[in-house]
Structure 1
Amino acid sequence: MKTLCSALCLMLLILGMVSGAVAGEFLIDSVEIGGSLFDEQLRSYSHDVDLGENGPHGTTSHVAKFNGVTSQIEIPSGVSPALGTDDFTIAVWVNVDDATGDLPGEILSQYDASTRTGFRLGIDSRPGVTSSQANWRNVHFGIDNGSTPGDWTDHGRLGNAILIFGMAVFDGQLFAGTCEAGENEAGRVFRFDGDEWTDCGAPDRCNSVSSLVVYDGHLYVGVSKYRLRGSALAESENPHLGGTVYRYDGDHQWTSCGQLPETEGINGMVVYNGKLYAGSLYAPAGFFRYERGTEWTSCGVPDGKRVESLTVYNGHIYASGYDQGAVYRYDGEFWEHLGVIEGASQTYGFATYRDDLYVSEWPNAKVFRSGGDTVWNDVGQLGDEKETMPLVVYNGKMYGGTLPTAEVYRFDEATGGQTPPSWTKVARLDWTPDVQYRRVWTMSVFQGRLFAGVLPSGHVHSVEVGRNVTCDRALPSGWHHIAAVREKDRLKLYIDGDFVSTSTTFAPDDFNLTNSQPLRIGFGTTDHFYGQLCDLRIEQVAKNADQIRQLMAAP
């Protein structure tokens, strides 16, 4: 009979906390706890973790399977290591699958949301960021110690853009879709390598590239004729309709994947159960699944209503709507109405934060948290704004962008049952004069920074909070080895033994990570982990590339 202790290896090895520690021993205040006592303790910390022996590369290594909803291991702070300002290495084998109805989520974290102190490691997907799937299976390792956001960097205007409609990280770069309103202009795609923008061309003749998504190893975009009066601007002189999906095959190389029936604009695309889905921006309402070539299958809509922003959460697609302030849920066959948000006439975007689904809305700039079924709980208004659009979870906290003054806010949840949730303003990003509306329309995370695109200046801005390192390529299906290292004044990330990236430098004493929170495995700041973990190690030493490859050799 397998035990949790054997499945975690000793899968969980917390080493180096005192002199003489050996693999498989769990230490509390220099007292060794091994054997059956350790086994019993670790078992008591777990919930709904399934055990097996189908490890990396066909080995019989013990693995722990997490169901993405309730599976978790929570080790009390008095038992887990106090990392402080010291070097450390987290190493783990992970197994994830593309063709599922859930997202990989959080691998582990020890993070105090009230003080913004600690670390987290996860595989981040961000569907439902207004109209785009902003990130897809990008590994992120971040630390913080209550730092305040620094100055935002203005990365400039993209072409003649008046709107950054969507962004997505693909193949190591950040891609952005624009709206250009001139009669002889068209929506374009630009890519950013961290230093400069490259024009990838206009896939179509219409005025907007409105949705971006990574699917099956490629970047796909949806195009639209955006009606600018919806942002209180003069209508575009461009007469061409959109509604087509294109695949990016290189700069200025775009392959048509078909026109969605009776569709002049595409506002949401998402990957679910290994398939690509897209929805119409304007009437008539339409929702479609991509089959092959240029073929799309209609999947129906809820009660004739448009479905707009699309996300994936716990086995379903969730959709916002512009015909009413509602949320809808799709199981791959049928739609379900999940209720109307109090005071809302439109819903705009989604984020999964600390295992709960959140949605933004118009006209009160509030955010609501799902309470199950048709219950949506008000978690506050963003300043005095009227609309909240993108929601993104970044390095432990949730951020939202607004209209009419294009501000960014951080969500600070209730603490101790006494302090109510609040939203803290961290920036204003558009100062265009003599317009009614300015919008932070879209967001993404790239090279460890939070990016935001705005209307009507058409600029992209970014900021780093804490210190972060990311792998800006989608993690493929199957087993992969991830190693996250804090070494002196920087973070490093390795995937399958290869060095991926490093963070900006920092003063080690500025990032004391010790806090009173438990060590959480399989859940934390984003969603519950969906997949398998094997040979998870936390060692209070900064391992080099050769040592990390040695860990890979014997899971």
Structure 2
Amino acid sequence: MRFSREGALFDGRTASIEIPSAPGLEVGGADFTLSLWVRTEKDLDDTLGDLISKYDPARRTGLNLTIQHNAGTGSQSNYRNLHFGIDQARQDAAWTDRGRPGKAIFIHSLAVHEGHLYAGTVEGRTNDDHGHVFRYADGEKWEDLGAPWRSNGVTAMASYNGHLYVGVSRVLLHYSGLEPTLAHHIGGKVFRYENGKWIDLGQILGIDGVNGMVVFRGKLYVTGFYQPGMFRYEGGTEWASLGTPEGKRPEGLIVRDGAIYATGYDEGAVYRFDGEKWTHTGRLGDSTQVYGQGIYRGKHLAGTWAFGEVFRHEGDGHWESAGRLRDAEEVMGPAGYNGMFYVGTLPLAEIFRYDGDRRWTSMGRVDTTPDVKYRRAWSMAVFDGKLFAGTLPSGHVWSFEAGRSATYDRELAAGWRHIAAVREGIRLRLHVDGKVVAQSAEFDPGHYDLTNTIPWQIGFGQHDYFNGTARDVRLYTQALSAAEVIALAGKR
């Protein structure tokens, strides 16, 4: 860590500040305000990570203030989304059905963009079935934004440069235990949603589907689905080929610690791309495919086939088992959410919470379709303070809430920003540059005593090390008014 007149520079790798827990610093069940200035860069090669944390994962009690990045199984589901959450081991008793977008049989992609949740669907197996994009409205309602292309699936999504980008594929459904796909319309294209229309950004040569999609160093990167390849968008309809790791297929993508990491479907491995060359990070036990990956407490976790096991990257080509999930065969769709880490599975579409070491706790099933071989909880995103999950073969989206959270469901702008997180009575609220940008659902204040013995951490927590600069970090043992927050935001 380096200190300057501007503030403390956190390197996103190991730097953090720890303040021991003390009676005078416990917020308990009372109102409080966290206030700080942060500066982040526009072009990133790392997650942004945690700002402030005082959270005990063993008791699921405390608070989290983080800039959330989730990449899941392929889509960049959360990017630069500010999250303020509290918990005292409270969660919904059951998942809430958020409906079936269109004729979906597979919610292949979920992403948060400009205050909305978007879903990309696979809608069938014939030439008459086209993958659509839907925008979540409310309850079980979804707004149909149309089919970008003739192929049967919208399989990847990302928020990039103020627009929603999607990749399309001819999805081969027999790999999910369904009847074989008959459609001959290939995908392998990317589209941008602009002024209510889908702008075609070109056919990527050599692939008929797009699976992974992330933003890295200010550029958009995608991977093929059934054919190997990774590509960088160069504008217009131009795509630069970046090769493959020894001819293997790079699939789902995540950005961390200066590189892109890609899951692999041709062997149980994860590959690293530093912007110029590919390297192999090692094999993940006896797995033969790797599906989803995420960052939890600064560690890289990845889910595998065929034994339903999650692995943790320890560097130097070594992956350590983080446990097997009951009878699961495949682990997918991971997401960090309000201090904990969640994954989806096949064949029962059961979702699990990681409780540390090798322990996983079932959060229940989100698809109980009878008489099918496989059910998937494939895609996840954090939106409106909740965790959302997309399924196969029912094609429904479900949500779940643990504790209470206020989420800013837009990209936090680069540069200096003033952030205030306020607990006041029955709600949480988030302020950016003095403006209220998000509020939580109501809660009973008596249900949330946040007292724990974990130290206060600045620049680290349950997600990742902070990558940026912070200054003027304050804790108030009261809820500041909107006018008081505006005054603080004017004092940099």
The equivalent residue for 2:363 is 426
- CA, structure 1 residues 531+80, in 2 after alignment: closer, same or farther (shift >3 Å)? farther
The equivalent residue for 2:191 is 246
Distance 2:180 2:327 in 1: 27
The equivalent residue for 2:223 is 279
Secondary structure of 2:483's partner? helix
Which deviates further from its counterpart, 70-79 or 108-117? 70-79
Distance 1:445 1:258 in 2: 30
The equivalent residue for 2:234 is 291
Deviation at 1:469, TM superposition (A): 0.4
The equivalent residue for 2:271 is 328
Secondary structure of 1:425's partner? strand
Rg larger for: 1
Instruction: Give structure 1 regions of 4+ aligned residues with deviation exceeding 2 angstroms.
Output: 148-151, 193-196
Secondary structure of 1:546's partner? helix
> Per-residue displacement from partner, 1:50-90 (whole Å, max 9, x unpaired)?
1122xxxxxxxx41111100110011112771110010001
- 8 Å Cα contact 2:127/2:151 also seen in 1: no
Match runs of 1:91-110 below 5 Å: 91-110=35-54
The equivalent residue for 1:538 is 475
- 8 Å Cα contact 1:172/1:193 also seen in 2: no
Distance 1:349 1:551 in 2: 41
Distance 1:366 1:315 in 2: 26
Distance 1:68 1:80 in 2: 29
Distance 1:78 1:486 in 2: 20
Match runs of 1:147-226 below 5 Å: 147-181=90-124, 182-195=126-139, 196-226=141-171
The equivalent residue for 2:20 is 76
Secondary structure of 1:302's partner? coil
| 1:189 partner amino acid | V
Deviation at 1:502, TM superposition (A): 1.2
Confirm whether residue 144 of structure 1 aligns to residue 96 of structure 2: no
Distance 1:516 1:194 in 2: 39
Q: Which runs of 5+ in 1 are unaligned?
A: 1-48, 54-61, 415-420
Match runs of 1:122-521 below 5 Å: 122-127=66-71, 129-181=72-124, 182-195=126-139, 196-251=141-196, 253-283=197-227, 285-414=228-357, 421-521=358-458
Of the three residues 56, 78, 86, the one matched with 1:112 is 56
| 2:315 partner amino acid | G
- 8 Å Cα contact 1:89/1:541 also seen in 2: yes
Secondary structure of 1:309's partner? strand
Deviation at 1:338, TM superposition (A): 0.8
TM-score (norm 1): 0.87
Q: Which runs of 5+ in 2 are unaligned?
A: none
Distance 2:61 2:195 in 1: 41
- CA, structure 1 residues 406+310, in 2 after alignment: closer, same or farther (shift >3 Å)? same
Deviation at 1:153, TM superposition (A): 0.9
Deviation at 1:313, TM superposition (A): 1.1
The RMSD of aligned alpha carbons is 1.1
Secondary structure of 1:551's partner? helix
Distance 1:548 1:78 in 2: 26
- CA, structure 1 residues 519+237, in 2 after alignment: closer, same or farther (shift >3 Å)? same
> Per-residue displacement from partner, 1:381-429 (whole Å, max 9, x unpaired)?
1121111111111000001100000000111113xxxxxx211001101
Number of equivalences? 490
Distance 1:157 1:193 in 2: 12
| 1:426 partner amino acid | M
Deviation at 1:250, TM superposition (A): 3.9
| 2:473 partner amino acid | L
Distance 2:244 2:396 in 1: 34
- 8 Å Cα contact 1:383/1:425 also seen in 2: no
Distance 2:93 2:441 in 1: 13
Match runs of 1:52-67 below 5 Å: 52-53=4-5, 62-67=6-11
| 1:64 partner amino acid | A
| 1:95 partner amino acid | R
| 1:480 partner amino acid | R
Distance 1:78 1:497 in 2: 30
Distance 2:90 2:489 in 1: 34
Distance 2:353 2:234 in 1: 39
- 8 Å Cα contact 2:127/2:185 also seen in 1: no
Of the three residues 51, 59, 62, the one matched with 2:3 is 51
Deviation at 1:478, TM superposition (A): 0.9
Deviation at 1:183, TM superposition (A): 2.8
- CA, structure 1 residues 250+459, in 2 after alignment: closer, same or farther (shift >3 Å)? farther
Higher fraction of strand: 2
Secondary structure of 1:146's partner? strand
The equivalent residue for 2:486 is 549
| 2:185 partner amino acid | H
Distance 1:549 1:158 in 2: 40
> Per-residue displacement from partner, 1:1-24 (whole Å, max 9, x unpaired)?
xxxxxxxxxxxxxxxxxxxxxxxx
- 8 Å Cα contact 1:301/1:335 also seen in 2: yes
The equivalent residue for 1:30 is none
- 8 Å Cα contact 1:149/1:426 also seen in 2: no
Percentage identity across aligned positions?
A: 47
Distance 1:330 1:80 in 2: 46
> Per-residue displacement from partner, 1:148-172 (whole Å, max 9, x unpaired)?
3332110111111110001000011
| 1:488 partner amino acid | G
Distance 2:363 2:223 in 1: 32
Distance 2:56 2:181 in 1: 47
Secondary structure of 1:548's partner? helix
- CA, structure 1 residues 193+531, in 2 after alignment: closer, same or farther (shift >3 Å)? farther
| 1:188 partner amino acid | H
Distance 1:250 1:99 in 2: 25
- 8 Å Cα contact 2:377/2:390 also seen in 1: yes
Distance 2:60 2:92 in 1: 12
Distance 2:87 2:185 in 1: 47
Secondary structure of 1:458's partner? coil
Deviation at 1:489, TM superposition (A): 1.2
Secondary structure of 1:137's partner? strand
